[in-house]
Structure 1
Amino acid sequence: MNELFQLSAPWWHFVLRGVAIYILVMVLMRLSGKRAVGQFTPFDLVLVILLGNAVQNGINGGDNSLTGAVIMASTLIGLNYAVAFVTSRNRTFEKFVEGEPVVLARHGKVFRKVLRRELVSEDDFDKALRKNNIEDVADAEVVLLENNGEISVVKQHKE
């Protein structure tokens, strides 16, 4: 019964591993782009499952104790809270963590290079227009790829 709670390393190893893996995964997710996060497909689900499995040993160092699991879970939740706290109070850090919206089209002109760079397909772009009851991109003032990966459309104000 004692082995359920016996750590294989000092407690601070778990905290250090948790911080390192958290930062690594955050950076990798940031580099993967907005669409990878915003448009969760079955392929993305497989990626998340495999990613969790890939970092498991790095995060727990092979420790299977309940105490280690509690330390790791607490560390990750604490880090997540700290990141949310800092991003809500520091615009520079928020831009680094969450990114900024990207203009995909303005005044009817579609920026095709930006679509490709942000991995937005023509179909996804057109679907966003249809969701906003816009038949022609010329009727859109601006089309944005938001931080969360969704495409938002601001309609042209016609007088």
Structure 2
Amino acid sequence: MGWFFNTWSDIVRVLVLGIAGYIALIFFLRVSGKRTLSKLNAFDFVITVALGSTFGSFILSKDISLSEGLTGLAVLIWLQHMISWLTVRSDFIKGVVRGEPTLVYYNGEYLKDAMKRSRVVESEIEQSVRNEGHANLEDVGAVILETDGSFSIIGRSEKEGKELNIAGLKA
């Protein structure tokens, strides 16, 4: 019977902690700013997952109090805020936390070494091109693997032979 239902007090506890935790989480996120839940890189993704895991743990675990759970959320959000603040001010921290975008296709050629380092295959590039509404690679000047794992597609230059000027990347 314990697999399906324990007690009404357990259900009430989950409801109370869930509602109180949700309200506190929204407050924490509003205070910390828009950057806290961005998905700009792997670090941001990890923080987002950690927040969800912490939230779920303290709602469902009888061993974690509301104050402990909220402290856990506050610590994660504060750490994310501090790392974001430091990355703006320190090139070293920025280099540790953020990756660099990688050019994986340029002017009709797959850049095999970059693809190998990034663990990207041709079919993933082709799929990203189709997802952006291009029928084939002839319409595309460059494909960039961004720091968040998404692909950016840059259309071919309208002028034949004109080099693409891609911000922050060398061809």
Q: Corresponding residue for 2:125?
A: 125
Shift of 1:101: 0.2
Q: Corresponding residue for 1:147?
A: 147
Q: Corresponding residue for 1:99?
A: 99
Amino acid at match of 1:122: E
Which TM-score applies when normalising by structure 1? 0.53
Computing the radius of gyration from Cα coordinates, the structure with the larger value is 2
Shift of 1:156: 1.5
Question: Deviations for 1:89-130, whole angstroms, at most 9, x for unmatched residues?
Answer: 334422321211001011111023432332323332112112
Amino acid at match of 1:84: S
Q: Corresponding residue for 2:79?
A: 79
Within a 5 Å distance, the mapping from 1:51-66 to structure 2 comes to 52=53, 64-66=64-66
Give yes or no for contact 2:108–2:137 (8 Å, CA) kept in 1: yes
Ranges in structure 2 where 5+ consecutive residues have no aligned partner: 1-41, 58-62, 160-171
Amino acid at match of 1:140: V
Amino acid at match of 2:87: T
Give yes or no for contact 2:110–2:122 (8 Å, CA) kept in 1: no
Q: Corresponding residue for 2:10?
A: none
- Larger RCO, structure (CA 8 Å, separation 6 or more): 1
Which TM-score applies when normalising by structure 2? 0.50
Q: Corresponding residue for 2:70?
A: 70
Give yes or no for contact 2:100–2:147 (8 Å, CA) kept in 1: yes
The DSSP-based 3-state class of the residue aligned with 1:134 is coil
CA distance in 2, matches of 1:146, 1:127: 15
Q: Corresponding residue for 2:33?
A: none
Judge which range, 79-88 or 97-106, deviates more: 79-88
1:137 to 1:91, Cα distance in 2 relative to 1, 3 A: farther
CA distance in 1, matches of 2:97, 2:103: 19
1:111 to 1:89, Cα distance in 2 relative to 1, 3 A: same
Give yes or no for contact 1:109–1:138 (8 Å, CA) kept in 2: no
Give yes or no for contact 1:108–1:139 (8 Å, CA) kept in 2: no
Count the aligned residue pairs.
107
The percentage of aligned residue pairs carrying the same residue is 23
Judge which range, 63-72 or 75-84, deviates more: 63-72
CA distance in 2, matches of 1:102, 1:119: 11
Q: Corresponding residue for 1:44?
A: none
CA distance in 2, matches of 1:92, 1:109: 33
